[in-house]
Chains A and B, each alone.
Chain A
Amino acid sequence: MKILIIEDEKMIADMYKVQFELLGHDVTVSANGAEGLIYLEMNKPDLLLLDLMMPVMDGFEVLEKLKDFQARDKFRVCVLSNLSQEAQVRKVLDLGANDFFVKAQFTPAELAKKLGLTDENN
């Protein structure tokens, strides 16, 4: 799968990149929302992993922008965040995200499984 990770913490982004690449996927990392959106336009990934707390443009804004995407239904958006407030989860889902995961709860391997990226689903 073509995966785009929009995450400003380099260490975390790289962590997932390594894991998913190990599983044979094509992973690109974008450090902020604006960059990510541009990439999204140009290359059509199958999965977008979106962090919420980012400078310049945060995850919520990206989701807003994504609502206007014509090709929106062609890919999945999963929010990966360390925020876990009920209200935020709801907001994210209302804005059109397909799923929400708390990073600290899963190892990259577990996350891959949850996202359907492991061998069984590949």
Chain B
Amino acid sequence: MVFLIGIFVFLKNTKSKVNFTFALHALAVTVWLFATFMMFYQKNNIESVIFWDRMVYAGVVFVPAFMYHFYLAYVNKRNDTLLVIAYILSLSFLFLSRTDYFVKDVFTYKWGTHTKAQFFHHLFVVYFFTYVVIWFTKMYKFYRSIDSLLKKKQTKYILYDFLSLFSIGSLAYLPAYGFGIYPFAYLAGLFFVLILAYAIINTRLMDIRLVFRQSTVFLSSLFATVIPVFTLRYLVELYLPTALYWPEVVMLVIAASLFPVLKEKFSRFANRYLFTSLYDSKFVIRELTTALSATLETKRIYQSVTDSLVDALHSKSISFWQHVPEKNNYVLDFNKGLSLKNQFKIRASKNIFNNYFIFSKAVSIEELKSGPLKNLAFIKDFAVAGIEVIVPLLIKDKLIGLICFGPKLSGDIYNNEDFDLLHVISAQVAIALENAFLYEETKQFNLKLSDEIDKATKDLRAANEELKNLDRAKSEFISIASHQLRTPLTVIKGYGSMMLEGSFGAMTPAINENIKKIYDSNERLIALVEDLLNISRIESGKLQFNFEACQLEDIISSVVEELTVPAANKGLKLIWQTPAEKLPAVNIDKGKIRQVAINIIDNAIKYTPKGSIEVNLKLDGDQILFSSVDTGLGISHDDLVNLFKKFSRGEHVSLLHTEGTGLGLYVGKMMIEAHKGRIWAESAGIDNGSQFYFTLPIAK
């Protein structure tokens, strides 16, 4: 039995040193017990007694070493020299026990025989007890130093266990010295097992509880099968001695078929009546993973987790708490089984976080209560709420929340397997919840975003209104300004012209001449206002164009007609010939284009002292080309560059003609370009005449 336990412990956690050393110790004890048993069994055969006794010691010599090793593993200390010494001594005694210096001959007692102790045996006993004392002292000191209630409990049992083993078991040495004490000492082995079993069950010691239970199920079903089979065999042997082989086979067959059935029955029995939740962690994890990946809703997540975990762990209650870092508390978000209302809050504790949660491991209230932070209100709050286990949900180092479990319905404690399961699940649940929270945040954010957009557009709309107002004000200004400027100009023009026409009577030549100057000057002013107005309108985008399809030749004809007289007055020839073939129509603002033509031809007249001005229109691809060629003063290269700019007047000609405002060609350029046409001038140089061109696209 001891051996079996040892094997289970070892198998449970081959990596754990504690388990390993314990297994070794168990092995040693097993050897001791078994060999002793054999020794007694063979009590009549001296030779075998001695043989088996040596066997006994083969096991016993290692007991101190293994024991000490177990202690070191249990308290998590590194192997020290004491251990090395122990092993050395054990090994040496192993060899010595083969010799007669160790034990020799036998004592015969009524109950059996035992070898006699020799010299090295004495040494061994000394060694044995030294280490026992060391072990107990150290173990006890450790026991005193433990804070965790759970560990304390476990250690207590270990102490009791080994105490019983050694106090009673050591008495087994006495027969070697001639004391005929009945070897009830070997019962110590039994006690060892029993106490250990109790420790395992109640204190999660070495956590082989599950295995223990499963093996119990296994063994009980095994016995349940074997016993009737053997009884049957025995009966058959008794009554049908001859038919020996057939029954054997039949028996085996019956046993083999009975066994699984019975095992199943026992397993279910154990599950139902003992509340043992022998669940399959992998199954739970798989099931939960599937459920978690199917939803983004926090409520659903809580429900899925509740369903699978409560089913597996049989907890009385489960609750989910959301961590609110700004308020530094946990808010109850969902619970099943707790007698608290939702939104119940518990203050968070940085200490708890730094010492426990940050390791992403589930922690039990028991552990916290016996830890260094036992007095924190945090622990009290949770304990009062009826919570036994807290599982932190972490993503990287951020604590999202907690899952809390109440005690199990069966009253059992949460074992290592449960904690492992919770550890794995916590990572998954943390991620799922984080996603759900982010999803909710996104939804909220979207709402917030549309609010912000509305607000922003409100600002924009307001700004737009402002702009519209400004625009209107500008228009009004232009209108009023032009109107106000023109009024006095009109008066001067009107009376001036009438005077010059003689409507107020004859004037002396001198007066006439001077009135003319006033009149002419005024004309310039009017032209200037006109230009300024146009430019202002163009630049503020207010210039309206009235596009219509028409024949360009008609417009040019009318312009030429208007300017024929002024040209003739200067003795210039104004040549224009309507094209023979009708040109394609153009989509233009008649008034504006007319103005441009007038400007150009008028300029030509102005700057041509003698000769002619030839005006032409012709079709050039998809454009109509207007040209005005004169024999006038020409344009210098420098002037040509700046010709169409604002306020430019030829440097050369400025001395001669000072009336121009310098805006005419600029406005002309604006107009033509607004029609998607092109305007330019060419000249061979001073006194070589000039040519002005513009193109207009034909109407599509």
Which residue numbers of A lie inside 8 Å of B, CB to CB? Answer: 9, 11-12, 15-16, 18-19, 22, 53, 81-88, 102-105, 107-110
Contact = CB atoms under 8 A, between A and B. Distances in A.
Given A9-B487, A12-B490, A86-B544, A18 B482 contact: no
A19 B486 contact: no
Nearest to A86: B544
Given A84-B482, A85-B479, A87-B544, A109 B489 contact: no
B483 A108 contact: no
B399 interface: no
A18 B495 CA distance: 10
Interface string B483-496: 10011011101111
Interface stretch (B373-381, B497-505, B623-631, B657-665): B497-505
A53 B483 contact: yes
B483 A11 contact: no
A108 B479 contact: no
A53 B503 CA distance: 28
Nearest to A11: B491
B399 to A, nearest CB: 69
B482 A109 contact: no
B489 A104 contact: yes
A104 B503 contact: no
B497 A82 contact: no
Nearest to A19: B498
A82 B503 contact: no
A82 B482 contact: yes
Contacts of A16: 494
Contact of A12 (B475, B483, B491, B501): B491
B493 A107 contact: yes
Interface in B441-485: 475, 478-479, 482-483
Contacts of A103: 486-487, 490
Contacts of B494: 12, 15-16, 19, 107-108
B501 A109 contact: yes
Contacts of B526: 104-105
B352 interface: no
Contacts of A85: 475, 478-479, 544
B491 A15 contact: yes
A35 B484 CA distance: 23
Contacts of A19: 494, 498, 503
Contacts of B478: 85
B188 to A, nearest CB: 118
B339 interface: no
29 contacts: A9-B487, A9-B491, A11-B495, A12-B490, A15-B494, A15-B498, A18-B498, A18-B504, A22-B503, A53-B483, A82-B482, A82-B483, A82-B486, A82-B490, A83-B483, A84-B533, A85-B475, A85-B478, A85-B544, A87-B544, A88-B479, A103-B487, A104-B529, A104-B530, A107-B497, A107-B498, A108-B494, A108-B498, A109-B501
Given A15-B491, A16-B494, A19-B503, A86 B546 contact: yes
A82 B487 CA distance: 7
Nearest to B526: A104
B497 to A, nearest CB: 3
B687 to A, nearest CB: 35
Interface string B649-673: 0000000000000000000000000
B482 A108 contact: no
B482 to A, nearest CB: 7
A104 B486 contact: yes
Nearest to B478: A85
A18 B546 contact: no
A12 B489 CA distance: 10
Interface in B527-544: 529-530, 533, 544
Nearest to B542: A85
B558 to A, nearest CB: 15
Nearest to A85: B479
Given A107-B498, A108-B497, 14 more contacts: A9-B491, A11-B495, A12-B491, A16-B494, A83-B482, A83-B483, A85-B478, A85-B479, A86-B546, A104-B486, A104-B489, A105-B526, A109-B498, A109-B501
A117 to B, nearest CB: 14
Contacts of A12: 487, 490-491, 494
Contacts of B501: 109
Contacts of B487: 9, 12, 82, 103
Contacts of A18: 498, 503-504
A21 to B, nearest CB: 10
A108 B530 CA distance: 19
A82 B501 CA distance: 23
A107 B493 CA distance: 6
Nearest to B480: A53
Contacts of B533: 84
Contacts of B479: 83, 85, 88
Question: B475, B486, B491, B494: which has the most chain A beta carbons within 10 Å?
Answer: B494
Interface string B541-556: 0001010000000000
A104 B494 CA distance: 8
A110 B493 CA distance: 11
Nearest to B494: A15
Nearest to A9: B487
Contacts of A110: 497
